Amino acid sequence: MIKSSPEFREQCYDLLLKIPHGKVTTYKEIAKALGSKAWRTVGSVIALNPNLINVPCHRVIKSNGQIGNYVLGTDRKAELLTKEGIPLAKGKVVNFEQYFHRF
């Protein structure tokens, strides 16, 4: 893993705040928005999110539409996404492109 700088982490968290309610984005999309290819580093940064209540890291999913991991468990992530109106089936976002947020 590439070590992330404090600035990179802050930029990741800032982008998380820009994902609208009822939308999802991907680790790769966040890396791209930051001018980076380090999507795995983005995932590591998001996993360390110190403020789950205000910084909606549950809205970040894998590029194939799978919801991926979450510090509070995948069941909780699925619950949060469903509450926001994002349909899921078998651990994936249904009609992924409809709910995908690009920066």
- What's the CA angle centered on 90, arms 54 and 76, to 5 degrees? 25
- What's the CA angle centered on 73, arms 43 and 87, to 5 degrees? 85
Q: Which amino acid is at 92?
A: K
| Catalytic position from the list 30, 34, 57, 86 | 57
Q: 4-16 burial, b for 16+ CB within 10 Å, e for fewer?
A: beeebbebbbebb
Active site residue 57: yes
* Residues recognised as catalytic: 57
